[in-house]
């Protein structure tokens, strides 16, 4: 099975995936990358080097908030949480994504 490394997939999708992954609750960086890989059944693998710059960017945008907590390993970890404006942004980006993928879908089927 070929693995697709994000963000080579499509520009902007990394942000969308991070926001969506954080929707159920706070998570630290590593957990986010694991979660995406797991849910996508190993098809999507976040480029770990670009995950953290993306997290910091989203934090500066005010879409996610960071908090230091003791992790399951007993070590301090930085947990990220969606903010209210992050939820709004997620809704915008999700609908944009749906529009885009539906469009590509139509072209693939009908062109």
Partner 1 sequence: MKLSGLKLRIRAIFKPDTVERELDDELGFHIECETRKLMAAGVNAAEALQHARARFGSIPLAADQCRDERGVDFFETLARDVRFALRTFRRTPLVALTVVSTIALGLGVVTVAFTFFNMFFFRVDAVRNPDELFAVERPTRPGFRGHVPFTWTEYEAIRQGTNVFTDVAAARPSIPTRINGRAARGMFVSGNFFDMLGVTATRGRTLTQADNEDGGRAVVVLTQLGWEKFKKEIGVRMALGATPRDIVRLVVSQSMRPIAIGVLVGGGLAAVTAIVLLSMPAAGMIGTAIHAFDPLAYAVGLGIIVATCLLAAFVPARRAAHINPIATLRAD
Place of tokens 């908090």: 67
Contact call for residue 11 and partner 1 (CB under 8 A) = no
The torsion of the CA quartet 45, 47, 55, 99, rounded to 10 degrees, works out to: -60
Token readout for 12 is 């902007």
Interface pick for partner 1 out of 3, 43, 56, 88 (rule CB under 8 A): 56
Least distance from C-beta 2 to partner 1, angstroms?
A: 17
Contact call for residue 5 and partner 1 (CB under 8 A) = no
Of 61 and 101, the one with the shorter C-beta distance to partner 1 is 61
């Amino acid at each position: 099975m070929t693995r697709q490394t994000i963000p080579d997939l499509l520009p902007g999708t990394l942000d969308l995936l991070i926001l969506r992954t954080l929707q159920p609750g706070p998570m630290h960086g590593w957990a986010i990358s694991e979660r995406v890989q797991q849910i996508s059944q190993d098809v999507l693998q976040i480029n770990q080097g670009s995950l953290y710059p993306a997290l910091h960017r989203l934090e500066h945008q005010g879409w996610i908030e960071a908090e230091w907590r003791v992790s399951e390993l007993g070590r301090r970890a930085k947990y990220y949480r969606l903010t209210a404006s992050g939820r709004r942004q997620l809704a915008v980006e999700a609908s944009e994504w749906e529009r885009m993928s539906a469009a590509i879908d139509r072209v693939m089927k009908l062109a």
